Amino acid sequence: MNRLTLLTTRDCHLCEAARADLDRVAREAGLDWSEVDVAGDAALAREYGDRLPVVLLDGREHSYWDVDVPRLKRDLGGAQ
């Protein structure tokens, strides 16, 4: 299981920027990350649909609408 998951959906303009930020942070931390389109899961769509994109760290919501890069780096144990 990846420590980082990005919840997205199609036609989400904020998701593009979140992908780039998450990719950079994960690469610096030496981690992989996964992406889940909530459109394929009714429960996830109900839970997160109005806050996308959402970053999950170890399965728990970490941030939404954008990647809080300094906080994510800190929580991953890296330098800011």
Three-state DSSP class for residue 25: helix
Write the CATH number for 27. 3.40.30.10
With respect to residue 55, please indicate whether it lies within any of the assigned structural domains. yes
- Residue 80 predicted with pLDDT over 50: no
Residue 65's pLDDT band (cuts 50, 70, 90): very high
Q: With a threshold of 0.85, does the pTM exceed it?
A: yes
Number of domains in the chain: 1
Per-state percent for the chain, helix, strand, coil, to nearest 5 = 40, 25, 35
Please give the residue that has the higher pLDDT: either 51 or 79: 51
Bridge partners for 57 per DSSP: 4, 60
Domain limits for position 15 = 4-75
User: What does the pLDDT look like over 5-52, one tens digit per residue?
Assistant: 999 998 899 999 999 999 999 999 999 999 999 999 999 999 998 999
With respect to residue 27, please indicate whether it lies within any of the assigned structural domains. yes
With respect to residue 37, please indicate whether it lies within any of the assigned structural domains. yes
With respect to residue 80, please indicate whether it lies within any of the assigned structural domains. no
- Residue 78 predicted with pLDDT over 60: no
